[in-house]
Amino acid sequence: MIAGLVVEGFLDKFRPIFGQRMDQSVKIMEKWVRMEHSFGGVSSFVVESSTSSEITASVGIRIRDSDTDVLARGFWKALRQDLGFLHASWTTILLSYPHYTASSSEAYVERLVVTREHRHQGIGRALLEAAESLSRESGKDTIGLHVSDSNLPALKLYEAYGYQEISRQRSLLTRYFLGIRDWLYLQKKLR
Ligand SMILES: CC(C)(COP(=O)(O)OP(=O)(O)OC[C@H]1O[C@@H](n2cnc3c(N)ncnc32)[C@H](O)[C@@H]1OP(=O)(O)O)[C@@H](O)C(=O)NCCC(=O)NCCS
């Protein structure tokens, strides 16, 4: 369910990456989320719908050390199986942005997404709060995340919630293929 939600929420990014293999995207994302939970040090929060068995929102928070080699090998294997070598290589290059070096004193927020029909109800904010509480309980000093410069709803939410820009990465590749020129690295101090 998380995988379906993420693909739906980031369609503008996934469509150009997966192209005619969009049918494979949820399956690949599902493998990725499982691997992140098993080897990536990531935990997820989800918001359940009150009217159905669906989920309406989710967020991942990396709070433990990540086994990056196992994760990278596992993801490459999944991509190669489902997309073939050439498309897998291309997907790996595009998904490698933004680059981030994890630090044990920082929690990292990723794939925050709320279904379209449930936006503007404070769910995104609530998930961010949950991520921060977990990060504090886990002894982290800071919480970080990346957002594209064109994602105004997300930027507005993060800024309102005390995140500050630390640095930017510019990529001609993602500008051309995803319409994303700058990746902003935002951070909030927790102590
Ligand atoms: C970004 C996202 C998670 C926000 O979720 P949300 O549940 O709508 O956010 P909230 O209702 O908690 O909104 C909190 C604040 O964010 C801002 N905000 C949210 N959506 C906005 C929009 N479309 N336009 C402008 N500001 C917006 C507002 O400041 C809002 O506060 P307010 O409603 O009290 O004015 C949601 O738009 C989403 O899933 N987007 C697609 C995936 C994505 O881009 N994720 C972020 C990746 S970095």
User: In CATH, what number is assigned to the domain containing residue 41?
Assistant: 3.40.630.30
pLDDT of amino acid 46? 98
152-166: pLDDT as tens digits: 999 999 999 999 999
Secondary structure (3-state) at 60: strand
Cα 178 from Cα 172, distance rounded (Å)? 10
Give the pLDDT mean for 118-139: 97
Nearest CA to ligand 1 atom 23: 153
Q: How many CA atoms lie within 13 A of 8 on its CB side?
A: 14
Return the exposure string of 66-103: e unless at least 16 CB atoms fall within 10 Å of the residue's CB, then b.
eeeeebeebbeebbbebbeeebbebbeebeebbebeee
**If pLDDT is split at 50, 70 and 90, which confidence band does 121 have?**
very high
76-116: pLDDT as tens digits: 999 999 999 999 999 999 999 999 999 999 999 999 999 99
Which pTM does this prediction carry? 0.93
User: Could you tell me how many helices (H) and strands (E) the chain has, helices first?
Assistant: 8, 6
Mutate to test the pocket of ligand 1, among 29, 114, 146 (most ligand atoms within 8 A of CB): 114
Cα 48 from Cα 107, distance rounded (Å)? 24
Count of structural domains, the chain:
1
Give the pLDDT mean for 169-173: 94
> Is 101 among the domain residues?
yes
**If pLDDT is split at 50, 70 and 90, which confidence band does 48 have?**
very high
Cα 95 from Cα 78, distance rounded (Å)? 14
> Is 159 among the domain residues?
no
Asked if residues 99 and 179 have their Cβ atoms less than 8 Å apart, the reply is no
> Is 57 among the domain residues?
yes
**If pLDDT is split at 50, 70 and 90, which confidence band does 141 have?**
very high
- Among the atoms of ligand 1, which is closest to the Cα of residue 115? 39
Cα 59 from Cα 124, distance rounded (Å)? 9
**Residue-number span of the structural domain to which 124 is assigned:** 2-144
For the chain, give the mean pLDDT. Answer: 95
> Is 149 among the domain residues?
no
Nearest CA to ligand 1 atom 33: 120
pLDDT of amino acid 188? 98
**If pLDDT is split at 50, 70 and 90, which confidence band does 41 have?**
very high
Q: How many angstroms is it from 157 CA to the middle of ligand 1?
A: 6
Percent of the chain scoring above 70 in pLDDT: 100
pLDDT of amino acid 186? 98
pLDDT of amino acid 161? 94
E strands, the chain, where? Answer: 42-48, 55-62, 106-114, 142-148, 164-170, 182-189
Q: How many angstroms is it from 170 CA to the middle of ligand 1?
A: 24
> Is 189 among the domain residues?
no
> Is 92 among the domain residues?
yes
pLDDT of amino acid 87? 94
CB within 6 Å of ligand 1 — which residues? 9-10, 112-114, 119-125, 147, 151-154, 156-157, 160
pLDDT of amino acid 11? 94
> Is 188 among the domain residues?
no
Give the pLDDT mean for 117-134: 97
Cα 144 from Cα 24, distance rounded (Å)? 30
Mutate to test the pocket of ligand 1, among 119, 132, 186 (most ligand atoms within 8 A of CB): 119
Nearest CA to ligand 1 atom 31: 157
Asked if residues 184 and 165 have their Cβ atoms less than 8 Å apart, the reply is yes
> Is 190 among the domain residues?
no
Q: How many angstroms is it from 153 CA to the middle of ligand 1?
A: 5
